[in-house]
Structure 1
Amino acid sequence: MRVFISADIEGITGVTRWEETRYGGQGYAEACMQMTKETAAACKAAQDMGYEVVVKDGHEDAVNIDMNGMPRGVEMIRGWRCSPAAMMGGLDESFQAAIYIGYHAPEGSDGSPLAHTVEHGWFNWIKINDCLASEFTLNALWAVAYKVPSVFISGDKCICEQAKTICEDIVTVATKDGTGNSTWSKHPMDVIDSIYEGVQEALNGSHNLICLENEYKMDICFKEHQRARAASWYPGTTLINPTTVSYTAKDPIELITAKMFMTEI
Structure 2
Amino acid sequence: MQVYISADMEGVTGLVGAQDVQAGGRDYPHGRVMMTEDVNAAVRGALAAGATRVLVNDAHSTMRNLLADQTHPEAELVRGKPKRMGMLEGLDGDFGAVLCVGYHSRAGALGVLSHSYMGHEIEDMWLDDRPMGEIGFAHATAAALGVPVVMLSGDDAACDEMTAWDARVVTAPVKYATDRFSARLRPAAEARKAIEEAAAEGVRRADSRSRPPRTEAAATLAVRWQSATVASQLEAIPGVGLRDSRTVEVAGAVPQLYRLFGVFMRVATALTDQQPYC
TM-score normalised to structure 2 length: 0.88
Structure 2 counterpart SS, 1:12? coil
> 2:174 corresponds to which residue?
175
Is the Cα–Cα contact under 8 Å of residues 226 and 246 in structure 2 kept in the other structure? yes
Deviates more, 1:251-260 or 1:17-26: 251-260
Number of residues of Structure 1 aligned to a counterpart in Structure 2: 262
What is aligned with 2:76?
75
Aligned position for 1:94: 94
* CA pair 122-252 structure 1, distance change in 2 beyond 3 A: same
Assess if the C-alpha contact under 8 Å between 1:80 and 1:89 holds in 2: no
Q: What corresponds to 1:194 in structure 2?
A: 194
Within 5 Å, give how 1:1-265 maps onto structure 2.
Answer: 1-51=1-51, 52-83=53-84, 85-112=85-112, 114-180=113-179, 181-205=181-205, 206-209=208-211, 215-249=218-252, 251-265=253-267
Please say which of residues 177-186 and 37-46 is displaced more in the overlay: 177-186
RMSD over aligned Cα atoms: 1.8
Q: Is the 8 A contact 2:147 2:212 kept in 1?
A: no
Cα distance in 1 for partners of 2:257, 2:45 equals 33
Q: 1:161 to 1:208 in 2, by over 3 A?
A: farther
CA shift in 2, pair 1:258/1:81, >3 Å = closer
Could you tell me how far 1:210 is from its partner in structure 2? 5.1
Q: Report Cα offsets for 1:93-152 as digits up to 9, x if no partner.
A: 21111101000011122222x111122232111111222211122222221222111100
5+ residue gaps, structure 2: 268-278
Once residues 162 and 256 of structure 2 are traced to their aligned partners in structure 1, the CA distance between those partners, rounded to angstroms, is: 22
CA–CA separation in structure 2 for the residues paired with 1:166 and 1:213: 20
Conserved 8 A contact 2:4-2:55: yes
C-alpha distance in 2, partners of 1:38/1:106?
21
TM-score by length of 1: 0.92
Tell me, in whole angstroms, the C-alpha distance in 2 between the residues paired with 1:43 and 1:235. Answer: 41
Q: Deviations over 1:192-245 (max 9, x none)?
A: 001111111111213344576954222211111111111122222222222111
Structure 1 residues 184, 7: CA separation in 2 closer, same or farther (over 3 Å shift)? Answer: same
Same amino acid, percent of matched pairs: 26
Out of 252-261 and 122-131, give the one that drifted further.
252-261
The CA deviation at 1:48 is: 2.2
Look up the equivalent residue of 1:241 and give its one-letter code: D
The secondary structure found in structure 1 opposite 2:177 is strand
Q: Equivalents in 1 of 2:68, 2:260: separation in Å?
A: 32
Contact 2:145 2:255 (C-alpha < 8 Å) held by counterparts: no
Q: Find the residue that maps to 1:264 and give its secondary structure.
A: helix
Contact 1:234 1:258 in 2 (8 A): no
| Runs of 5+ consecutive residues of structure 1 not aligned to the other structure | none
